[in-house]
Structure 1
Amino acid sequence: MDNPGDAEFEGAQFDPDAVLWVRGVDYVTGWREASQAAGELGDALTEAGVDVARAKLRASTTTDGSGVVRLELSPATAREVAKLVHVAATRWREAG
């Protein structure tokens, strides 16, 4: 995980000059929302038994300030997550 509070956080330096800032756009709210969502997703993956030690969840914002969560997984972990999603989707269809 790549969130500042995570044990795996590598302490990457933020360079404010490396991004385009638009006056009046609230980037903090979007980033905060994305950061919370990334944490929730990481927790859910962990609860589902996915090894997220090598996963990267990053909170970011788009140019309009909307939050976005970026998820990077190894191919093996992506397949594991795909299986979980397929199982969950099947159960939801059968329950509905």
Structure 2
Amino acid sequence: MHDPEDAGFEDEAFDPDEVVWVRGVDYVAGWRDATDAGGELADALAAAGFDTAGLEWQAKANADGSGAVRLVISAAAAHDVAALVRAVARLGKVS
């Protein structure tokens, strides 16, 4: 499983103007979920044979506390991922 310390995990400086803090919203849980999801996605791409050396992803929490993953891949890799998703879609629903 990918670790936030691994290459590819991008950490940008905190921008307080980017987030609206609301009392009672668990932003840490959303960030943790996004961190896990980003690592899971990177692992799945590697298992499918994608070169993840140039993969960049960042976990963050949205204003509502939900997690989000920002992913940056090359255009060639995006074409390959799109082809993979279309192939899976032809087989049936992803569970």
Q: In which range does the TM-score fall when normalised by the shorter chain?
A: 0.7 to 0.9
- Which segments of 5 or more consecutive residues in structure 1 lack a partner in the other structure? none
Letter in 1 for 2:67: G
Within 1, Cα distance between the matches of 2:70 and 2:30? 13
Task: Give the number of aligned pairs.
Answer: 90
RMSD, aligned α-carbons: 2.1
Displacement of 1:8 in angstroms is 3.8
Corresponding position of 1:74:
74
Structure exhibiting the larger radius of gyration computed from Cα positions: 1
Displacement of 1:9 in angstroms is 4.1
**Structure showing the higher helix proportion among its residues:** 1
| SS of 2:45 mapped into structure 1 | helix
Corresponding position of 2:28:
28
* Identical residues among aligned pairs (%): 49
Corresponding position of 2:91:
91
- Which segments of 5 or more consecutive residues in structure 2 lack a partner in the other structure? none
Letter in 2 for 1:15: F
User: Contact (CA 8 Å) 2:8, 2:57: kept in 1 or not?
Assistant: no
